[in-house]
Amino acid sequence: MTPFPGHEYYKEVLSDATKDIADALDRDYESYGSTTWRRKIKEAGLGPDNCFYFQNESLVRGKLEFDLDRDPSPDLSLEIDLTRKSLNRLPIYARLGVPELWCYDDGEITIYHLQEGEYVEAAQSLVFPELPIQSLPYVIEEHRQQGRRVLRQAIREWAKTYRTTF
């Protein structure tokens, strides 16, 4: 199935936003795009719109081959859900063991956390607990007509306003 332009636009924008937020907050990450992930033991596999390692970044840094029966699952997966397909994919993500999902649909991000083998809606991100991730679509829409460079700068500035110092 060929993706629609709206799907691809938001996939790219939210992927860039995730990277820009990580950069603004000085967080290391690895991004593996829409890699098809498989877990033989649980007979599960799928390809997200994008996926990231944050908490387990040091374990996969620079890795090009994975076996999810031995390697950690991505810490975060993005689903751009302009057709509501993501809800049908949650059980597969659960079998793969992805701790956090962000599902974007109609201008909203819903965060899901994996708890006891099932996803529950969550108010904050495990990856970026200091940020109100549900506000990210508003930042995107506010700057969308100004071009990608301006949009990315706005996202970095937004993230920096929540940066905490340790």
Q: Per-residue pLDDT for the chain (166 aa), expressed as one digit of tens each?
A: 566 888 889 999 999 999 999 999 999 999 987 766 666 655 556 677 899 999 999 999 988 888 878 889 999 999 998 566 656 888 888 988 999 999 999 899 999 999 999 999 999 999 999 999 999 999 999 999 999 999 999 999 999 999 875 4
Give the span between the Cα atoms of 155 and 128, in whole angstroms: 14
The architecture in CATH of the region 5-160 reads: Alpha-Beta Complex (3.90)
The rounded radius of gyration (Å) of the Cα atoms in the chain is 15
Domain boundaries of the chain, sorted by first residue: 5-160
